[in-house]
Amino acid sequence: MRIVVQNQKGGVGKTTTARNLASALLHQSLARSVVLADLDPQAHLTQMLPEIEPSSGADVADWLSGKVVHAAQVKGEPGLRLLRGGAQVAPSSIGPVMPVGADWVIVDTAPGWSDLTVTLCGWADLVLCPLEPDFLGLSGVARLCERFAEHGLALDKLRFLLCRHSARLNLHRDVQARLMERFGSTQLLPVTISNSVRISESAGFGRSIIAHAPEGACASEFLALARLLAGSPPPEPERSVA
Ligand SMILES: Nc1ncnc2c1ncn2[C@@H]1O[C@H](COP(=O)(O)OP(=O)(O)OP(=O)(O)O)[C@@H](O)[C@H]1O
Ligand SMILES: [Mg+2]
């Protein structure tokens, strides 16, 4: 499975989603080997993970040059691998191939849109778009759909994930209803991610939300997201995540 996490808008939860989805897949044995590719020059995803071993694993520039690469193993999370970010990606990059041993690749992109985004969205099985349920979130969705149409990309690859969501807020319910009307329950994912300070804390500790706050709502939500994307049966509401 090839997933590209994309939203032109910054700070919407792309890196958080990529990191925690990977751990949620592995935690439930829905994947054997997940490679995270850090496409953002800010390298937030790379910084968010604990040390990698060996430090000589490939970076995203190697990967995008079309080489078959080995991603580095992330310490303490068997099966989690990283293609390090921060490297200068050549404009002549020819595009990705599956890294050695990976059954899932999750690409965290930088905010904005470039030729590389087009290549990656074409390569992906699914393009996962995290957004905040507000007016700017909606306008970001409209822009993303326009870009897809402009570049002949398949709109049915798009999946929208509401982040920092609160079902108690009228605004959030309203935005959710509008997206549901437009995209239906396949593309507007029925799982949402709550707003929680535990998310920011976990990033600071180099842990996934599942390791950091296993009993919290966000851990259950990311586990449910992983099951949904892996095509597993829907989550049981009271299931323990410990
Ligand atoms: N569900 C959440 N609840 C609370 N805080 C969150 C949540 N999701 C993300 N955050 C916080 O919001 C900030 C931005 O998140 P993140 O870095 O994942 O966004 P991004 O879309 O990758 O940003 P950028 O566009 O800069 O790459 C981070 O400080 C993160 O910890
Ligand atoms: Mg990011």
Query: Can you tell me the distance from the alpha carbon of 199 to that of 164, in angstroms, rounded to the nearest whole number?
Result: 10
Q: Is 212 in the pocket of ligand 1 (CB under 6 A)?
A: no
Does 196 contact ligand 1 (Cβ within 6 A)? Answer: yes
Indicate if ligand 1 lies below 6 Å from the C-beta of 65: no
Residue 241: predicted pLDDT: 45
With residue 87 as reference, give the H or E element that holds it: none
More confident residue, 51 or 186: 186
| Ligand 1 center to 8 CA (angstroms) | 14
- Find, among 12, 86, 102, 7, the residue nearest to 49 by Cα: 86
Which whole number is the average pLDDT over 11-34? 98
Q: Among the listed ranges 10-14, 87-91, 142-146, 151-155, which one has the minimum average pLDDT value?
A: 87-91
What number is the average pLDDT over the span 107-112?
A: 96
- Please check the confidence at residue 172 and state whether its pLDDT lies above 50: yes
The CA distance from 163 to 193, in Å, is 5
Q: Residue 176 pLDDT > 90, yes or no? A: yes
Residue nearest atom 23 in ligand 1 by C-alpha distance:
11
Using most ligand atoms within 8 A of CB, pick from 48, 199, 212, 218 the residue to mutate for ligand 1.
Answer: 199
Closest ligand to C-alpha of residue 130 is 1
Strand residue runs (E) in the chain: 2-5, 34-38, 52-53, 72-74, 80-83, 104-108, 126-131, 158-162
Of 4, 8, 15, 222, the one to substitute when testing ligand 1's pocket (max ligand atoms within 8 A of C-beta) is: 15
Residue 128 in contact with ligand 1 by CB distance below 6 A: no
In terms of residues, how long is the chain? 242
Please report which ligand is nearest the Cα atom of 140: 1
Contact between residue 22 and residue 45 where contact means Cβ atoms under 8 Å apart: no
- 195 within ligand 1 shell (Cβ under 6 A): yes
Q: Residue 148 and residue 145: Cα distance in Å, rounded? A: 5
What is the pLDDT, as a whole number, of residue 242?
Answer: 39
Is any ligand 1 atom within 6 A of the Cβ of residue 40? yes
Looking at per-residue pLDDT, the higher value among 90 and 118 belongs to: 118
Q: Domains in the chain and their CATH numbers?
A: 2-229 (3.40.50.300)
Per-residue confidence (pLDDT) for residue 68, from 0 to 100: 87
Q: How many of the other CB atoms lie within 10 Å of CB of 81?
A: 24
From CA 199, how far away is CA 116, in angstroms rounded?
Answer: 29
